[in-house]
Amino acid sequence: MSSHEIVGIDVAARKLVVIGERLALAEYENTAAGRSKLVNALSRSPQPVRVVLEATGMYFLDLACELAAAGIAVMVVNTIRSTRRCCANTAGGWISCRGNRRGTSCLGFVR
């Protein structure tokens, strides 16, 4: 385990599915009230929290801003773009993210 609580959030139009290293699977509504409950729950963690948001549309934006405003580190990953880059078929065969000099499509942790 790390010195941080790593939390993954699958973001959809109406719900947020959350799981962490020490956090049980939970669902929150993707509304102002639901996001507020989630941010409050993460803010109570005894360890610093780092959140990775999976987002393929713009539904992550409000949550990302609210987490950053609360001082919680946030990374947004677009799985469609990162998968395409991770699974690139080249003349020399398939390459992984490690073999891809351009990396995956994500933003580093922001606070």
- The DSSP result for 33-44, as a single string, is HHHHHHHHHHHT
Give bridge partners of residue 29 from the DSSP assignment.
15
Tell if the pTM clears 0.85, that is, is over it.
Answer: no
Q: Which of 37, 40, 45 is nearest to 20 (CA)?
A: 45
Note the pLDDT tens digit of each residue in 40-74. 999 998 899 999 998 768 899 999 999 999 999 99
Instruction: State the pLDDT at residue 35.
Output: 97
Whole-number average pLDDT of the chain: 78
d(CA 109, CA 96): 22
Residue 102 lies in a domain: no
Per the structure, the complete domain to which residue 67 belongs is given by 5-78
Section 19-45 average pLDDT: 93
The CATH number given to whatever domain includes residue 63 is: 3.30.420.40
Give the pLDDT band (50/70/90) at residue 108. low
Instruction: State the pLDDT at residue 1.
Output: 56
Cα of 96 vs its chain's centroid, Å: 20
Residue 33 lies in a domain: yes
Residue 48 lies in a domain: yes
**Is the pLDDT score of 101 beyond 90?**
no
How many separate domains does the chain show?
A: 1
d(CA 22, CA 71): 20
Give the pLDDT band (50/70/90) at residue 32. very high
Residue 74 lies in a domain: yes
